[in-house]
Amino acid sequence: MRVVFPAALLLSVLLLTGCSAGAQLAQKDATIDSLHVVNRHLTADVYALEDSILFFKDIDSGQYYRDRGVLRDSIEKLNFLLAEQTDPLPPPALAVLSVDALFAPASATLTPEGQSTLASLVDTLRTMNGRIRVEGHADNVPVSGSLQEKYPSNWELSAARAAAVVRFFTENDLPPARFEVVSFGDTNPKTPNTSAAGRRANRRIRLVVVPW
């Protein structure tokens, strides 16, 4: 006996079968995507655990502390280099004059030759913009004899010599407000004081122009 199904019924069965297959496929795709997400999270957890294990191994072996020490040294070096770049550089000397060429021996009195040397600087100083710092420097030989009554140490003697230079400049029409006197005594030698030539080089007057 031959059974003939209506065409409409066959079409309905095919449609139902296709919809069911499509739903199953979509569900499988969603499951796969969900598994991929879980896999990524688990992989990240594994990497984090591996990093933690390596970290504690480094601590146990001392590598962590060695690396931290290297990093700290690098930071300190960078801070030092940064400070060198940001700190203002000391102003360059405009002139360094030998005390022996300016003053009578063991005194703060300018010689005629010393006055002539300073006079040659007046016009130059007049054109300079900024304060003029006059520094007095000495060797390490203590002040002795009758000179000690007037200048108890190289501090006072260096200050008196620097002041004498400033007084000469102001008497030659340079504004007093532009000057400052600084005494270093024997604390900032240019060369070792172990020879006559070295001590002579350390007995000096240093002129520095400092920006306002």
- The CATH number for 169's domain is 3.30.1330.60
For the chain, what is the radius of gyration of the CA atoms?
A: 44
The pair of three-digit structure tokens given for residue 81, joined into one six-digit string? 């280099």
Domain ends where: 86, 106, 121? 86
User: Would you place residue 114 in the very low, low, confident or very high pLDDT band (cuts 50, 70, 90)?
Assistant: very high
- pTM metric for this prediction: 0.58
The pair of three-digit structure tokens given for residue 173, joined into one six-digit string? 């029409």
Please tell me whether residues 66 and 12 are part of one structural domain. Answer: yes
Q: Is residue 1 part of a domain?
A: no
Q: Is 140 exposed, middle or buried (0-12, 13-18, 19+ CB in 10 A)?
A: middle
Please tell me whether residues 108 and 148 are part of one structural domain. Answer: yes
What size, in residues, is the chain?
212
Amino acid letter for position 12: S
pLDDT for 57 beyond 50: yes
Residues ≥6 apart with Cβ < 8 Å to 96? 204, 205, 206, 207
Q: Is residue 154 part of a domain?
A: yes
Provide, rounded to the nearest whole percent, the portion of the chain with pLDDT above 70: 69
Q: Count the neighbouring beta carbons within 10 Å of the beta carbon of residue 29.
A: 10
Q: Is residue 80 part of a domain?
A: yes
Which of the residue ranges 1-5, 23-27, 140-144, 159-163 has the most confident prediction, judged by mean pLDDT?
159-163
Please tell me whether residues 67 and 31 are part of one structural domain. Answer: yes
- Pairing label, strands 131-137, 204-210: antiparallel
Pair 181, 134: CB distance under 8 Å? yes
pLDDT for 13 beyond 70: no
For residue 69, what are the domain limits?
Answer: 7-86
Mean predicted lDDT score pLDDT of the chain? 81
The average pLDDT across 10-26 equals: 60
Domain ends where: 62, 86, 110? 86
Per the structure, the count of domains in the chain is 2
State how far the Cα of 180 lies from the Cα of 163, in Å rounded to an integer.
9
Please tell me whether residues 202 and 113 are part of one structural domain. Answer: yes
Q: Count the neighbouring beta carbons within 10 Å of the beta carbon of residue 17.
A: 10
User: Would you place residue 84 in the very low, low, confident or very high pLDDT band (cuts 50, 70, 90)?
Assistant: very low
Please tell me whether residues 45 and 144 are part of one structural domain. Answer: no
Please tell me whether residues 48 and 63 are part of one structural domain. Answer: yes
Dump pLDDT digits (tens) for 172-187: 999 999 999 999 999 9
State how far the Cα of 111 lies from the Cα of 101, in Å rounded to an integer.
8
Helices of type H across 62-153:
63-86, 99-102, 112-127, 147-150
Q: Count the neighbouring beta carbons within 10 Å of the beta carbon of residue 193.
A: 17
Please tell me whether residues 195 and 104 are part of one structural domain. Answer: yes
Question: At which residue do the structure tokens 């004498």 appear?
Answer: 164
Please tell me whether residues 123 and 42 are part of one structural domain. Answer: no
Please tell me whether residues 73 and 146 are part of one structural domain. Answer: no
Q: Is residue 198 part of a domain?
A: yes
DSSP run (H or E) holding 210: strand 204-210
